[in-house]
Amino acid sequence: MPTVQENIMDNNKNMNDILNIAIAQIAPEWLNKKATIKKIEEAIREAVIQNAELVCFGETLLPGYPFWLELTDGARFNSTLQKEIFAFYLNEAVSIEQGDLYSICALAKKNKIAVYLGCAERAGDRGGHSIYCSLLYIDKAGIIQSIHRKLMPTYEERLAWSIGDGNGLKVHALNNFTVGGLNCWENWMPLARTALYAQGENLHVAVWPGNVANTIDLTRHIAKENRMYVLSVSGLMRKEDIKNNIPHHALIRQNANDFLGNGGSCIAAPDGSWVIEPIVGKEVVVTATINLNEVRKERQNFDPSGHYSRPDVFELNVDIRRQKLVNFQSE
């Protein structure tokens, strides 16, 4: 017969199959790093009150998505207007090396809650004057475990963001779950998804700037493709979020719709059913409880990285080195 200690260990293992995950669909204090950090911290505290163990935020929520590009003739070469807005954006972008995320990490550690956070990152290891669309995973100990820079900025995003690399294509243990994440249209990239699936991913976080058209179909598709939970989290952006301190705010506001990003955050189960249906047009922090045993049941008939993978026929090579311009060597 099992001992008391063995029974306790088994019960703890089963308890770790249960995970409370939170969507934080909020609007940034657009292009204001300090004010947006405070808003993110408020959302983390709300998720803690709801007993969440993981809380997720939208693509480049900190300090905001470059919505101005399509509203201000963003592709015009050598435009003084575009230079002025970019300089403002660059100054408000996140510098991890300079400790911009210290308070968020400390809050995660204090409350033992993991965080997926989308940032516009001013990368010190690439000179500090280019911006990357980065997705960060902060663990329950408040440690940044991965920084995934978007592999390919989408369409007009290329006018503001640099091309990332494979360094952040990593998964992380969270209770008994294995969690990974991708930025926006990276979630359409089969090989990027495969790189995470093959590492045992069973909870996927897809981050978006905010549009239900992006989340309503793909969230359920990815869930069914890898028979896992998928949390899609979007930002929210309204015309009134364009404040007067932003360069050329009047022009941006003049050309903006009432909603530049309408949300659409949702969670799908391993069978493709909704755990939380898409939430549109409002700021909200909402929590759901998921169970790893539902993944196990759905993997019985299809496991794309296991019994259905055929590695004798297909092979994917992934370069996870951080791209560097210069490697300095000393004697």
- Our separate counts of H helices and E strands in the chain read 8, 13
Active-site residue flag, 184: yes
Beta strands in 103-155 (DSSP E): 114-122, 131-138, 144-149
Amino acid identity, residue 285?
V
- To the query of whether residue 92 is one of the catalytic residues in this protein, the response is no
Among 29, 46, 53, 59, which one carries the catalytic annotation?
Answer: 59
Calculate the alpha carbon distances from 230 to 21, 73, 91, 225 in Å: 11, 35, 33, 11
Q: What's the full length of the chain, in residues?
A: 331
Angle in degrees, 0-180, between the axes of helices 33-49 and 102-111, rounded to the nearest 10: 10
Instruction: Please give the Cα distance from 168 to 215 (Å, whole number).
Output: 22
Has 186 been annotated as catalytic?
Answer: no
Catalytic residue selected from 184, 186, 224, 298: 184
Catalytic residue among 150, 157, 170, 225: 150
Which 3 state secondary structure label does DSSP give 293? helix
Contact (CB, 8 A) for 161 and 150: yes
* CA 97 – CA 99 distance, rounded (Å): 6
Nearest residue to 68 (alpha-carbon basis) of 244, 253, 258: 253
Sign of the torsion angle spanned by Cα atoms 66, 139, 224, 266: negative
Tracing tokens 């249209």 back to the chain, one arrives at 185
Q: How far apart are CA 77 and CA 58, in angstroms?
A: 29
Catalytic residue numbers, as ranges: 59, 150, 184
